[in-house]
Amino acid sequence: VKVVMSGGQGSKTAEPYAYAKLATKGDVLPPFYVTNDFVKERDSSGNPTRIEVTLGRSPPPGQENANAFRADFHIGQKMKISKMHAILYWNADQEKFYIKSICKNAVKVDGHIYPGSPDGQQGQSAALVSRSKIEIADGVPIYFLLPSMLPANKPR
């Protein structure tokens, strides 16, 4: 991945350096940034080869620290949203982000349904481009956003 969100030190924006951003219209959910915290592996040059972010149901009020609700990005409290519903990941070979259901329920991207599977392992992946509209369990639409420009000094 050779892109970062505009922002960081000396920037006029409050956005952190990030590989991507998940956001809702009107900030119904707080923006979520895919930062270095979600890089799982790097190549010998330091470039990320594996980035993973899980999306899932928010814990009920008063249970914010419940271990069962361990998704990285909590997307709502509807029971149709699984506790661990989908994974957003970077495919270094194809240089694209993808999203895939990791439960029996589907994920909708730009109007197309990508089914999950009973075991959560065989869900169909959907390629994401900037401004892809992600819908999970009739919840609030989430937009996948990529940076619009590459700063001269990117972090590693």
Given a contact cutoff of 8 angstroms between Cβ atoms, the answer to whether 114 and 102 are in contact is no
Q: Domains in the chain, ordered, with CATH? A: 37-145 (2.60.200.20)
Cα distance from N-terminal residue to C-terminal residue, the chain:
10
| Amino acid sitting at position 153 | N
Q: Tokens standing for 58?
A: 């928010």
Residue 28: pLDDT above 50? yes
Q: Tokens standing for 84?
A: 């661990």
Mean pLDDT of the chain: 83
- Least confident piece of the model among 28-32, 39-43, 120-124: 120-124
Q: Tokens standing for 136?
A: 């999970």
Residue 59: pLDDT above 70? yes
pLDDT value at position 16? 73
Identify the bridge partners of residue 61 per DSSP, sorted by sequence position: none
pLDDT value at position 4? 43
CA distance 31 to 21: 7
* pLDDT (average), residues 29-34: 91
> pLDDT tens for residues 86-95?
999 999 999 9
* pLDDT (average), residues 11-26: 78
pLDDT value at position 65? 65
CA distance 74 to 69: 8
